[in-house]
Amino acid sequence: MNSSASSNAILLYGNESSTLFMCGLYTILGIASMCANILNIVVFLTSEQLRSKYIFYIALDAGEFVDGLGFVLTAIGRGSSVLDGTFLTPISVHDCFYSRYWVHFIIVGNELPALITVVIAIERIIAVQKPTLYVKYVTTGSKRVSLLLAAFLQIMFLAVAGYSAYGNNDVAMTRHCAIIASTRSYFSVFHFSFVICAYVVSFVSLSIVFIINKNVSKTAGRTFGKKKNPKLGVFLAVTGSSVVLVAVPSFMMMGIGWKWFSLNDVTISLAYAAVGSLSIANTVINFTFREEYRAQVRKFIGLRKATVATAVNITPKSGQKL
């Protein structure tokens, strides 16, 4: 190891117990997240109406599925290194990116949902600010084009990550092979900053919708924002919470990358667990606040047929309508 590499060492620390805790938590959370994403995708895809209406959310769930898979693969990779005794062996940035398999899923699993979140935010703003333009130009076809553009940008981001890692002999003291240890600092800063900004944009766009609905409610003499559409306030609160949950681990990793401080794997894994649980929370929100989603779930598991069959067997009283 040369002196230059040593001076540029990336300070990620871990011990067997804390790293294995991280691996266990990531495995459980990743599997739960993937199951939630699969449920959402299946529910949306099995209805032609939902498939068209929620095309962005299908893509968002697909991106979050990659994130869940990234959790599982990270747990497998780091756990394997602990068990075979190589975890504390230094490794270069180049080798982390090109000889380990999980960092790519971490990058895509973070950035692709963020890109789609920005697309959804833009659509939301157009819908409330330029409704005529929205009706005319925002179609299923244009939404697909937007998703293709997001996918293209994601490929470009991953290519930049690979370029930043190529030939980089900076050394990480452990084999975490996190983003900050698998790419140059300019990419990791961009990565974490972009993810935070994406959720901020989403929160701002939803705030605009909330304020407009509230003003319309007052003008029309209705309590639209409070009673007729209470879920908007819930979505706003959840999105605001997401900004905080995403920002905390992002600032943690940037601080470690800049050598401001060091954190153990238990602390880092708990911070990321909060972010990973968003997929599960979104599934609960879908079921609670989207009637179409609930109806499709019931139909999918056969409850709707059972309900119909029960209703048919009921004999109405004289003059009573079913």
- Cβ-Cβ contacts under 8 Å for 250 (sequence gap 6 or more): 192, 193, 195, 196
Q: Kindly report, residue by residue over 70-116, the tens digit of the pLDDT.
A: 999 999 999 999 999 999 999 999 999 999 999 999 999 999 999 99
Specify the amino acid at residue 212: I
Please tell me the predicted confidence (pLDDT) of residue 224.
44
Contact 30, 75 (CB under 8 A): yes
Q: Kindly report, residue by residue over 61-73, the tens digit of the pLDDT.
A: 999 999 999 999 9
Q: How confident is the model at residue 276 (pLDDT cuts 50, 70, 90)?
A: confident
Q: Which of 91-100, 194-203, 255-264 has the lowest mean pLDDT?
A: 255-264
Q: Kindly report, residue by residue over 217-226, the tens digit of the pLDDT.
A: 666 655 444 4
Q: In whole numbers, what is the pLDDT of the chain averaged over residues? A: 87
Question: Which stretch, 76-80, 219-223, 280-284, 287-291, has highest mean pLDDT?
Answer: 76-80
Please tell me the predicted confidence (pLDDT) of residue 36.
96
Please tell me the predicted confidence (pLDDT) of residue 116.
98
CA atoms within 13 A on the CB side of 188: 24
Does residue 319 come out as left (phi exceeding 0), alpha (psi in the -120 to 50 range) or beta? left
pTM to 2 decimal places: 0.87
- Cβ-Cβ contacts under 8 Å for 205 (sequence gap 6 or more): 121, 122, 124, 125
Token duo for residue 297: 């779930």
